[in-house]
């Protein structure tokens, strides 16, 4: 009980100290200088309709590369943690037996699976035009596979395919970055491809390409994560 009181006091103290951050935060009237520039010149410079994508993939492209790396490292970590040759033994024997999916689920999933795949692909291909992008698309694709797992929990995914997809798409992403460095203004510069007309699918230089690669990579990584967790449980 005392512990809780101390915790409460501490949290109150923390929020008290941080009150200047939380209170009196009115809506900003205008953009910051930086975003102002992005907003006013981003479309022109990069040819993306979705300015967030412009920021994500190009202006702050290094963040995104890092983000991909984070996810990649996390996937590697999950695989390392939940890999096959472990001392601790399985959790499965500690849990009650699992049942298979119900009829409703099975049918629904089978129906949804291709739709979801398509939808995911759509999202990342159109990342520069509409809300969404590589990550979102990748997640949708991964969720399609999760659905499959709901139906059949013992389903095996081909690891070599997953790994190859992940590795090749990642490497291709980096390669594109380097091409930007060599043939355009800088690392990850998508403008080595023509920027095209705003609003078209094939526009914004290499951004759609990058987002597609990210989508594939994220998708396969998330599938890998989910698969690893499933294998252990």
Partner 1 sequence: MITQLLIILGAALILVGFWGVLTRKHIVKIIISFSILDTGIHLIMVGIGYIKDGSAPIIDQEMPVSRLAGNVVDPIPSALVLTAIVIGVAVTALMLSYAVQLYTFYKTVSIEQIKELKW
Partner 2 sequence: MVSPLYILGIGLGIAFLLPLFEKLGKKIPRIITLITLMVFTLIAVSWVVMISGAVDKFPVIFNTIGFKAPFAISLQVGLIEALVLVMINTAALLSGLFLSLRKDSHWEGKQIVLFLTLVIGVNGLVLTRDLFNLFVFLEIVSISMYALIASNDEKHAYEAGFKYLIAGSIASAFYLIGVIYLYRFTGTLFIDQIVAMDLAALQATHPGLVFAIALIMLGLLIELKPFPSNGWAIDAYEASDPAVSAMISAVGASGVVFAFYKISSLFPPEMAEIVVASGAVTFVFSQLVGLRQKRVRRMLGYSSVGQIGIIVMIIGLQRILKIDDAQMIMSSAIILLGNHIFSKAGLFWLSDIFDQEQLRRVRRRPLMIVLFGVFLGSLAGLPPFPAFWAKWRMITVLAESDKLFLIIIILLGSLFEAGYLFRWFTTLLRDESDPGDIHEEQIPEDIPVSSSQTGVVSSTRALAALAENAGSVVEELPVLSVEDPTAAEKRNPVVLAVVAISSVIVIAAGVLLGAEFLRASNELLLLIPVAVLTAGILFDLLHLPHRIHLILAMAGISFYSYRILMGLDGIYLVFGILFLTGSLIQMISLYVKKSLHFGLIPMITALILSLGNLLISTTRLGFFFSWEMMTVLSSLLILRGRKASGAGLRYLLFSLGGAYSMLIGLMLYPDFSLLLQGVRDVSTPPVLAVFLISIGAMVKMGSLGLHIWLPGAYAEAENEISSLLSSVVSKAGLFLLFVTSSLYLIPLLPSGNIPVSVLLGWIGAFTALAGAFFALFQEDIKYTLAYSSMGQVGYMLLAFSLMTHLGWVTSLYMAVTHLLFKALLFLAVAGVLYRTKTRMMYQMGGLIKRMPISFITVLLSIIALSGVPPLTGFGGKWLLYTALIEKGWYLQAGVAMFASAIAFLYLFRLIHVIFLGQLKDEHRAMKEAPIGFLIPQVVGMIVIMLFSMYPSLLIGPLQRAVTPFFSESIIWEGYTVFSTLGYWNGNAVMYVTIGVFIFPLAWLLLMQRKHTRMVEQFNIVFAAERPDRPETTHFGYNFFAHYRRALGMYLTPWATRWWTGVVTLTDSLGGTMRRIYTGNGQTYAFQIILYGTVLLLLLRGGF
Give the interface with partner 2 as residue ranges (CB under 8 A).
Answer: 6-7, 10-11, 13-14, 16-18, 20-21, 25, 28, 32-35, 37-38, 58-63, 65-67, 69-70, 72-74, 76-81, 83, 86-88, 160, 163-164, 166-168, 170-171, 173-175, 177-178, 180-181, 184-189, 191
Contacts of 84 (CB under 8 A, 6+ apart): 231
Burial of 119 (0-12, 13-18, 19+ CB in 10 A): middle
Q: Work out the number of other CB atoms within 10 angstroms of the CB of residue 131.
A: 11
> Closer to partner 2 at the Cβ: 38 or 101?
38
Give the angle subtended at the CA of 119 by the CAs of 46 and 176, to the nearest 5°. Answer: 35
Contacts of 194 (CB under 8 A, 6+ apart): 205
Distance CA 210, CA 163 (A): 18
Footprint of partner 1 on this chain (CB under 8 A)? 4, 7, 11, 14-15, 18, 21-32, 34-36, 38-40, 42-44, 49-52, 54-56, 59-60, 63-64, 66-67, 70-71, 73-75, 77-78, 81-82, 86, 88-91, 94, 129-131, 133, 135, 198-199, 218, 225, 228-229, 232-233
Residue 29 contact partner, candidates partner 1, partner 2, none, CB within 5 to 8 A by sort of partner: partner 1
């Amino acid at each position: 009980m005392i512990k809780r009181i101390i915790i409460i006091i501490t949290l109150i103290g923390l929020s008290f100290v941080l009150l200047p951050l939380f209170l009196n935060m009115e809506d900003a009237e205008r953009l910051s200088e930086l975003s102002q520039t992005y907003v006013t010149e981003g479309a022109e410079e990069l040819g993306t309709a979705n300015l967030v994508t412009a920021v994500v993939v190009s202006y702050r492209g290094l963040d995104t590369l890092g983000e991909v790396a984070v996810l990649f490292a996390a996937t590697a970590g999950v695989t390392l943690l939940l890999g096959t040759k472990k001392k601790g033994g399985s959790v499965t024997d500690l849990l009650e037996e699992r049942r298979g999916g119900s009829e409703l689920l099975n049918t629904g999933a089978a129906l949804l699976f291709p739709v979801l795949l398509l939808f995911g692909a759509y999202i990342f291909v159109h990342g520069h035009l509409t809300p969404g992008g590589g990550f979102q698309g990748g997640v949708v694709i991964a969720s399609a596979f999760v659905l499959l797992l709901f139906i059949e929990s013992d389903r095996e995914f081909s690891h070599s395919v997953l790994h190859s997809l992940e590795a090749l798409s990642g490497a291709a992403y980096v390669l594109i970055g380097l091409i930007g460095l060599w043939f355009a203004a800088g690392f990850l510069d998508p403008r080595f491809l023509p920027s095209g007309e705003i609003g078209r699918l094939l526009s914004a230089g290499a951004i759609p390409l990058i987002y597609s690669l990210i989508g594939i990579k994220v998708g396969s990584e998330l599938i890998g994560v989910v698969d690893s967790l499933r294998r252990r449980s």
